[in-house]
Amino acid sequence: MIHLLQTGLNSADSGSFLPVAVQFIIATGLVAFLMFVTHMLGPKRKTTDKLQNFSSGIETHGDARQPMAIKYFLTAILFVLFDVEVIFFYPYAVNFKVLGWNGFWAVMLFVGFFLCGFIYILKKGALKWEE
């Protein structure tokens, strides 16, 4: 289907993103259609008991939206930092042949700093789930 979709489109310009736009529209349309159809097809017998939140049979106590453990936050923020590191690898990975050893040592230094941070995190026990 490569021929189907890329007629007259140079894949290095922004026009090459057209297929994904069309794909997005079709996907949205399909899901909306499915939701609508099943909304029409399904029965609608609503009772207050049925619409309550499920809590395995016992009565629901309070609001579910309560503060959670800080550990999740730490995981998320460390993920952001390491994700940016991974992103920096992509331009390198494409070009490393041209850059040769100079580029490699630059990346090594970059990773070295990250590893320092990583060892600090481990030493501080930031990833320890149980206290």
Q: How far does Cα 94 stand from its chain's mean position? A: 23
Least Å distance, CB 33 to another protein, is 10
- Which 104-123 positions form the footprint of another protein (CB under 8 A)? 104, 106-111, 113-118, 120-122
Structure tokens at 35: 């939701």
Short-list 5, 50, 11, CA closest to 23:
5
- Which 66-95 positions form the footprint of another protein (CB under 8 A)? 66-95
Residue 98 binds another protein, judged by CB under 8 A: yes
Least Å distance, CB 13 to another protein, is 5
Least Å distance, CB 59 to another protein, is 12
Residue 58 binds another protein, judged by CB under 8 A: no
CB 121 within 8 A of CB 78: yes
Instruction: Compute CA distances 15 → 5, 25, 99, whole Å.
Output: 11, 16, 30
Residue 127 binds another protein, judged by CB under 8 A: yes
Residue 7 binds another protein, judged by CB under 8 A: yes
Residue 49 binds another protein, judged by CB under 8 A: no
Structure tokens at 6: 């890329």
Residue 57 binds another protein, judged by CB under 8 A: no
**Position 72: which residue type?**
Y
